[in-house]
Structure 1
Amino acid sequence: MAGGFGPVSAASADTPTCTLTFRADGTFEPTRLEVPAGRFKIVLVNESSEAVEFESLPLRKEKVLGPGVTSFVVLSLSRPGEYPFFDDFHPQVKGTLVVLPKP
């Protein structure tokens, strides 16, 4: 299931935003995020009762969330491509961030 960037709030009208949810069963939803090249925000929602960690080695980004915590990361990528990410506390749970060319 692909997850594109969703509706943006008035405060961040120029920053596309998508949401990645860490489920209680130890999975991501969605496992594939599609965003436009440039600056964008990923909202991270931990619905589980354990700590989770969004991590991407190629993006050099990591963010730990405690149980029930919502946070975010802001990235700026000009090069289209696919960038893997995973939950460092549950390394078998993997996803892909797809950066699309600007229209």
Structure 2
Amino acid sequence: MSRLSRFLAPAAVLLVAVASARADDMPVIKVEMRDGVILPAVIEVPANTRFKLEISNTGQSPVEFESTELKREKALAAGSTSAIVFRTLDAGTYQVFDDFHPEAKATLVAK
């Protein structure tokens, strides 16, 4: 093993450990979608902070978490869970809805 390889291998391990620790420190906000209902109706998230929105479809039909303002969408089959990571979000109020169930609406509030 060359001197450079001996130096780079530990550095690579350190970078992976730092990236992993960063992901673990990220706030996780949970949202439930169920056949035309989004819970909670007001989703509070941290402004100007990286966070993960974990979405679970506990219903019997597919759902699609969508926000035109945020330019984000995530379709989920019945019984599945997925996530959207937001790098940062300005303080404010954003409307979200279920594209498959137009009556399902919620408000995402970043503060």
For normalisation by structure 1, the TM-score amounts to 0.80
Cα deviation digits, residues 61-85 of structure 1 (max 9, x gap): 0000001011111113342000110
Structure 1 contact 77–99 (Cα < 8 Å) conserved: no
Q: Of the candidates 71, 88, 101, which is equivalent to residue 77 of structure 1?
A: 88
The 3-state SS of whatever aligns with 2:25 is coil
Q: 1:35 matched to which residue of 2? A: 45
Structure 1: tracts of 5 or more residues without a match: 1-9
2:61 paired with 1:54: no
Q: 1:19 matched to which residue of 2? A: 30
Give the partner amino acid of 2:72: K
- Percent of aligned positions that are identical: 43
Alpha-carbon distance, 1:13 to partner: 3.5
Q: Which has the higher helix share?
A: 2
Structure 1 contact 31–94 (Cα < 8 Å) conserved: yes
Give the paired residue count: 90
Q: Which has the higher strand share?
A: 1
Alignment RMSD, CA only? 1.6
Q: Which runs of 4+ in 1 moved over 3 A?
A: 10-13
Structure 2: tracts of 5 or more residues without a match: 1-20
Cα deviation digits, residues 40-90 of structure 1 (max 9, x gap): 111000011111000000000000000101111111334200011000001
User: In structure 2, what is the Cα distance between the partners aligned to 1:28 and 1:71?
Assistant: 15
2:111 paired with 1:95: no
Structure 2 contact 67–97 (Cα < 8 Å) conserved: yes
For normalisation by structure 2, the TM-score amounts to 0.74
